[in-house]
Amino acid sequence: MSAKTILIVGGGVIGLSVAYYAMRAGHRVIIVERGAPDHDSCSLGNAGMVVPSHFVPLAAPGMVAYGLRTMWNPESPFYIRPRLSRDLLDWGWKFMRTATAEWVDRAAPLLRDLSLAGRQCFIELAAEWDNAFGLVQKGLLMLCKTEHALHEEGATAKRANRLGIPAQVLTPEETARLEPNLTMDIAGAVYFPHDCHLSPQRFVAELTRRLIDGGAQFRWCAEVVGWRADGRWIESVCTSAGELQADEYVIAGGAWSPRIAHALRAYLPMQAGKGYSVTLRQPKQTPEICAILVEARVAVTPMPLDGALRFGGTMEIVGLDESINPARVRGIVNAVHRYLPAFSPEDFRDVPVWRGLRPVSPDGLPYVGRLRSYDNLSVATGHAMMGLSLGPITGKLMAQVLSGAPPAIDMTLLDPDRFA
Ligand SMILES: Cc1cc2nc3c(=O)[nH]c(=O)nc-3n(C[C@H](O)[C@H](O)[C@H](O)COP(=O)(O)OP(=O)(O)OC[C@H]3O[C@@H](n4cnc5c(N)ncnc54)[C@H](O)[C@@H]3O)c2cc1C
């Protein structure tokens, strides 16, 4: 393999992971990021979970009905702002058509393989980096408030077992034995022992540091505004800080990727799925295991290394709008008390609210690989709720693609041209 210069657009967890594994494969890398070195992104304030438990794609039966049901509740965890947008209608139509049982059967084994291989990457990186990002391998608890939710999660657990992912239904007493430091008011839980959690900020910071130490070039405060192409060949990328050249280009701009790719006539149907998190620096109780409050769709993660406790949730499809909607944040805060009575909404008073835009494809799978219309352009985006979890495996697979090696996992379903 000959070493190439690879330019990656976007310094979130996906762009950095692609850069890191490409550098390890012997390539020179340039990361072009519109933000400054201390910029915020969706990759920082997320819940930090590594989730083999998430093998059901977002586009699954029942999701459309659920979306319609919850649309009118301002505090609900899922919301699509109705608006006359061609992109939204097109995305919604594709989502509805894909959300079938057959699609779940096809996508689930791939999501399992990606998640388990991704988890293995984190374990290896933790060993190599002296666990600088606090990987905790204690699993994940799906905490159910109602018998109905427990029954549904129990069915998912059986399905997980059939796919080779361990999962176990627990009574409230069994859950309390696993999590003795947390007061819970629940009907039961499902335990996924292979899930993990970590500090996303520390992971991104360590990736950045290792890239810089390895000789990667960072072009901060450089927004990609256009491209120069000659036929099937991208000659250069135009940024607010000047033109940059490379042998290969990778678009990893998160929710902004369709906009970045637009000038190249690349068609990546995507919506931004806004989520929020609030982090208690000195929580009243600190769990050992990360959890999801199932009916409320709130993630609860003890942040390793600093003793904080993060609560995250909601999926608002409202375009590239980064404003904070207090009603949705209230929805998260009010839900916590119902499952974890030691916490009250008062605990969250004056706690800063973080928000991030997830890049959400209409079929629940990311776009990873080369685009057909050019010989030196690839995409790595659309990871929705799993971008941290799948970051390293995406980087590893992309490094194989860029090096001309066969990818370790069949990437056919991730084809970025699948809707073209
Ligand atoms: C509340 C919440 C909780 C979550 N919890 C989890 C979790 O527990 N586990 C998990 O796996 N995932 C989780 N996620 C999802 C995860 O955070 C995302 O999937 C992931 O961060 C996406 O990474 P990215 O690199 O694709 O995008 P981003 O992090 O958004 O990075 C994209 C980068 O591209 C840059 N950019 C954009 N346009 C341009 C341009 N024109 N020129 C140059 N640069 C540009 C942006 O500035 C940004 O830095 C959560 C998300 C939210 C909102």
- Could you tell me the residue ranges of all domains in the chain? 5-43+202-268+363-414, 49-196+270-360
Question: Which residues have CB under 8 Å from 110's CB, separation 6+?
Answer: 365, 409, 410, 413, 414
pLDDT of residue 1 exceeding 80: no
> In testing the pocket of ligand 1, which one of 46, 58, 114, 249 has its CB within 8 Å of the most ligand atoms?
46
* pLDDT value at residue 349: 95
pLDDT tens profile 273-317? 999 999 999 999 999 999 999 999 999 999 999 999 999 999 999
Q: Is 358 in the pocket of ligand 1 (CB under 6 A)?
A: yes
* pLDDT value at residue 76: 84
Q: Is 142 in the pocket of ligand 1 (CB under 6 A)?
A: no
pLDDT tens profile 351-410? 999 999 999 999 999 999 999 999 999 999 999 999 999 999 999 999 999 999 999 999
Q: Rounded to the nearest 5 degrees, what angle is found at the Cα of 62, between the Cα atoms of 187 and 68?
A: 100
pLDDT (mean) for 122-141: 98
pLDDT of residue 130 exceeding 80: yes
Q: Distance (Å, rounded) from C-alpha 315 to C-alpha 324?
A: 12
Taking CA atoms, 150 is separated from 56, 147, 158, 171, 190, in Å, by 17, 5, 12, 10, 8
**Shortest-distance Cα residue to atom 15 of ligand 1:** 385
pLDDT tens profile 50-108? 999 999 999 999 888 888 788 778 888 888 888 889 999 999 999 999 999 999 999 99
Q: Tell me the CA–centroid distance for residue 272 and ligand 1, in Å.
A: 10
pLDDT tens profile 307-347? 999 999 999 999 999 999 999 999 999 999 999 999 999 99
Q: Is 388 in the pocket of ligand 1 (CB under 6 A)?
A: yes
Q: Is 361 in the pocket of ligand 1 (CB under 6 A)?
A: no
Mean pLDDT of the chain: 96
Burial class (CB in 10 A: 0-12, 13-18, 19+), 370: buried
Q: Is 35 in the pocket of ligand 1 (CB under 6 A)?
A: yes
Superfamily of domain 5-43+202-268+363-414: FAD/NAD(P)-binding domain (3.50.50.60)
Question: Which residues have CB under 8 Å from 241's CB, separation 6+?
Answer: 219, 221, 222
pLDDT (mean) for 200-205: 98
Q: Is 395 in the pocket of ligand 1 (CB under 6 A)?
A: no
- 49-196+270-360 has the same fold as 5-43+202-268+363-414: no
CATH architecture under which domain 49-196+270-360 falls: 2-Layer Sandwich (3.30)
- Per the structure block, which two tokens stand in for 310? 């993060």
* pLDDT value at residue 350: 94
**Shortest-distance Cα residue to atom 26 of ligand 1:** 254
Q: Tell me the CA–centroid distance for residue 146 and ligand 1, in Å.
A: 32
pLDDT tens profile 5-43? 999 999 999 999 999 999 999 999 999 999 999 999 999
Quick check: helix, strand or coil at residue 316?
A: strand
Give the CA count within 13 Å in the CB-facing half-sphere of 230.
Answer: 2
Q: Where are the alpha helices (DSSP H) in 214-324?
A: 257-262
Q: Phi and psi dihedrals of 322, rounded to 5?
A: -100, 10
Label residue 119 by pLDDT band (50, 70, 90): very high
pLDDT of residue 162 exceeding 90: yes
**Shortest-distance Cα residue to atom 25 of ligand 1:** 12
Q: Tell me the CA–centroid distance for residue 270 and ligand 1, in Å.
A: 13
